[in-house]
Every structure is written in C-alpha cells, then in structure tokens.
Amino acid sequence: MGMVFTIVILGLIIFLHELGHFATAKYFGMPVTEFAIGMGPKIFSLKKNETTYSIRILPLGGFVNIEGMQHERFDLEVFKKEKMDEIIEELKNETGNKDNEIEDEKFIDEVERRLSKVVEKELKRQENIQKNGFFAKSPFSRFVVLIAGVVMNFISALAVLFIILSVAGVLPPKYSQAIVGGVEQSSKVNGRLKVNDKILAINGKNISNWSEMTKRIGEISKNYKNEDIALKILRDNKEITENVKLTYNEEVKGNILGVHLLSQKSTIGERVKISFSMFGDYFKITLDGVRMLITGKVAMKEMTGPVGLPKIVGEAYGQGGIFAMLGVFVLISINIGIMNLLPIPALDGGRLIFVIPEFFGIKVNKKIEEKIHMIGMIFLLVLMLVIVFFDVTKYFQ
C-alpha cells in the first residue's frame, strides 16, 4: 500500500505543480508543446492543438515544455536537410522502394510537397516563438509562470489542511481551550475537577489552550514531589482556585493530571485561520530541515527520496489511515514548494534569480544563463543519485 499511496500522492502533487506552470503559460499566450507527468518513456499521450498531454513511466517528476525557454539558433538549411532525409525514408517505407532509387519524378515531387508543408509549419512555429515564446514575454509574465508551480503546491496544502479540519469537525488541542471533557476515576483530581471546568492558569502561569496545559503539566511532573498544584478554574462563570495533586500513570511512566479534553466544534472562520497557522508550522519545520541540511547538522544519508518514501508512507498509513495520508500530502507539497524556491539553477527558484533583476533593467546573457541551468541540472541529477543510494541502503538496515 505504501508504494500505491506514494505514487498517487506524488502524482497529484506533481500534477498540481505543473498545472500552475501550464495554466499561467497558456494565460500569457506562451506556446506549450508538452504537459508531462512522470519522466522517461511515454506510456500514454494525447495531443490537442499544439500541446501533447502525456504520462511517463517513472513517477519521479514532471515538466511543462514551454517554447522559448531555451535559446536555440534556428538554421533553416539544416532543418530542411534533416527533414528531407526523414521524408525520403518515410516515402521509401511507404512505397517499398529500398534501393535508394529516388530519381523518380513523382517520388521527388512528393518529397518536395511534404517538405514544403513541414517547412511552412516550422516557420510559423518559429515566428510564434519569437513573438510569444517564454523569453519574448515581459519579466512579470515570466515571474508569474515560474512561481505558479510553487503557489499551487502551497494552495493545495492549505486546501487539504482545511479539509482535514472540516472532516474532523473539532478544534485540534493546540487551538482548543483547556476545558475538561472528562475526569479519570483513578486520578487524584476526581471530585475536585468537573466536566466543563476551564483551566485558566497553573501555579500562576496563564494557559491559553489545551496543548499549553499539557506542556505545563509535563514540565511540573519532571521534578514532582507530590506537592499541591494551584489550578485557576472558570466554573459556572466564576473563577475559583483548586489545589490538586498529580497522579502517576504506569503507561506514560510519569505524573499526569488525569483529565480529558472537551471536544470543541470549529466554525468555518476558525478552520480557515487554523489552516494558515498549521501551514506556517509545517513551513517552519521544512525550513528548519533545509537549514540543518545546509549547515551539516543533518547528514545527507538522513534525507528521504522517492525510493525511501513508500516505506515512510506505508508506516504512516498503518498508524493513522487516510488522515495520515492527507498529512503526508501536506508535508510533501510544502517540501516540494520550498525546495523549488531554493536558488539552485534549473529549479524554479534558480530561474527566478535571473528574472528578478530584469524588473530593474538588468539583463543577463541568456546563453550564459542556460549554461548555468545545465550545470544546475547535472548537480541535481547527481544529488538525486546520492539520495536514491541512501534510500536503498535503508531497506537493508
């Protein structure tokens, strides 16, 4: 199941990322020759107008081929020669003429007719590239197209977080007030605390949510000597103070208060707000991971790539089911978004570095830029091979 879920999750994330590039490129009138999900040989393709939509065999990426992103000098004579050779071979196969006898007048006329059509079509294509190709557009248009993939990743992550909160229907502990929903019979607070009691402060320190309350109790329990703990409580709209003791719990091997959270329903507005807050938490975790990797606090072998991901996804599904899969989707979406924003040549962030100066009238030689992106692509391929190697070794540990 881990492999299936990984392919589905990665495929959807990549599709949404590339859809951002594709939709904005089309909006600005840039010619797009292919929208591909996956890498390697095609297993399915459909051409509509100028664009081929394809699914490729390796679910490790995807791309949108926008005309004019690479500066290629078009040589009409070289193009004619290449196409003529192709057409001659094509006609030989059609007519069964395998003996290189191409002096036949009808044969030559057909070659010239077909070549004329191909050349006419290619000249129109080249004209369109010069007029509407990627580098022919304004810096703003190119900036939007390049950033659109990352934006789609972030928007989809926010949408899934909102869905998770909506399906759950209740506030997560971090965003729930510290209201007692139940008291354990064996706890020492039984009879002292009641359902619907709202805990406002512990030993004089204010509490704003359930997570803060459990964290504060955890801090106290580290050096707990059976002393009283002062709880400020709101009960029946009146503030009171209860002095209680913690109870040792064999399962957690520590002292606990012995109460459960009262489930609190969330409004649409709260879910939207919490979605952004949770997105920020995921974003910070990912940035911290990138920072530790760059500074060497985390070794390269600790990274997980596409080969090691199914193992993690499978374990997550076994522990948390579909909700865990949605969480994995959010985490990977944000990871892919942030990684694409890194200023590494060949990535979206690396291309943005060359677009942003143009807003201030500074232009970079496009041939030099393409060479830099080629170096970046080689670096990324080497990096991917290293990550895959460490992924494979994890399966034998």
Active site residues: 18
Residue pair 171/274 in contact (Cβ under 8 Å)? The answer is yes
Query: Residue 137: is it exposed, middle or buried by C-beta count within 10 angstroms (0-12/13-18/19+)?
Result: buried
Whole-angstrom Cα Rg for the chain: 30
Region of 197 (left: φ > 0; alpha: ψ -120 to 50; beta: rest) is: beta
Q: How far apart are the first and last CA of the chain?
A: 21
CA 313 – CA 238 distance, rounded (Å): 48
DSSP H helix total and E strand total for the chain:
9, 10
Region of 239 (left: φ > 0; alpha: ψ -120 to 50; beta: rest) is: beta
Distances (CA, A) of 13 to 56, 250, 318: 15, 43, 22
CA 9 – CA 318 distance, rounded (Å): 16
What type of residue sits at position 121?
K
What six digits make up the tokens of 107? 């044969």
What six digits make up the tokens of 198? 């709202």
3-state class (DSSP) for residue 187: coil
> Which residues contact residue 57 at a Cβ distance below 8 angstroms, ignoring those fewer than 6 apart?
38, 39, 40, 41, 42, 43
CA 376 – CA 196 distance, rounded (Å): 59
